[in-house]
Amino acid sequence: MKNYKIKAVCFDMWGTLCESGGSEQWNELQNNLGAKKIERKIFVRQGERNLLLFSGSLLDGIKNLAKEFKLNTNKTQIEKAYKTWYGHVQRSKPYPETINVLEKLKHAKIRMCIISNTDSESFYFKIKQYRLGRFFERSFISSKLGYLKPNPKIFQKVQNYLNLPKNQIVMIDDSLYHGVISARKFGWNSLWVARGKEGQDRLRIEDLTGIFEYL
């Protein structure tokens, strides 16, 4: 990447900029809805469709998920599922280096966007809580766009907005599948922010400070 100047950095949100509930969040949702008998992959896939691709409220998304699986859930269970999920969001904080890295990139006049698989309620709560919006030109989130990473449509949408050569854009993501590999297939540069995860990638960084080695 050092052979040409990077002019735009696109960040994932959860697990990259801010702490994520990850698999624990999905496990708790499945348990709280009484959906333990449903195969995990199926539950998560339908959960993503109802929560992360749904433009309405998070609570309504959870209600829709329960209806789709024809779960015998009552109001108390639904509310618990919502509060538990949203509790992860409320407790989430930007990683220790996040703000400093964003400030340095902004000072260097690097353009920045967010590309995230997320529900709107959680995303905008966290953006407002830590005033993260001041760093980014625009956010591209699945609940507004109607498709998830790794769908190339989401990268094309950002590409059209940035209007830069592909080799001048880098994607930063904690997910190899959703963000890192798919961005490379699209023609962008990408860095995997591993944060101690097992696995290998030719462009692995442990936290966001590693970005500067590639700019």
* pTM for this predicted structure: 0.93
Residue 169, classed as helix, strand or coil, is strand
Q: What is the pLDDT along the chain (215 residues), one digit of tens a residue?
A: 554 589 999 999 999 999 999 889 999 999 999 999 999 999 999 999 999 999 999 999 999 999 999 999 999 999 999 999 999 999 999 999 999 999 999 999 999 999 999 999 999 999 999 999 999 999 999 999 999 999 999 999 999 999 999 999 999 999 999 999 999 999 999 999 999 888 888 899 999 999 999 98
Residue 105, classed as helix, strand or coil, is helix
DSSP state of 50: I
DSSP state of 101: H
Cis peptide before 165 (omega within 30 of 0): no
Half-sphere exposure of 124 (CA within 13 A, CB side): 11
Identify the pLDDT of residue 8: 98
Q: Is 145 in contact with 161 (CB distance < 8 Å)?
A: no
Identify the pLDDT of residue 97: 98
C-beta atoms surrounding 69 within 10 Å: 20
Identify the pLDDT of residue 3: 45
Strand order in the sheet with 111-116: 138-141, 111-116, 8-11, 169-173, 189-193, 204-205
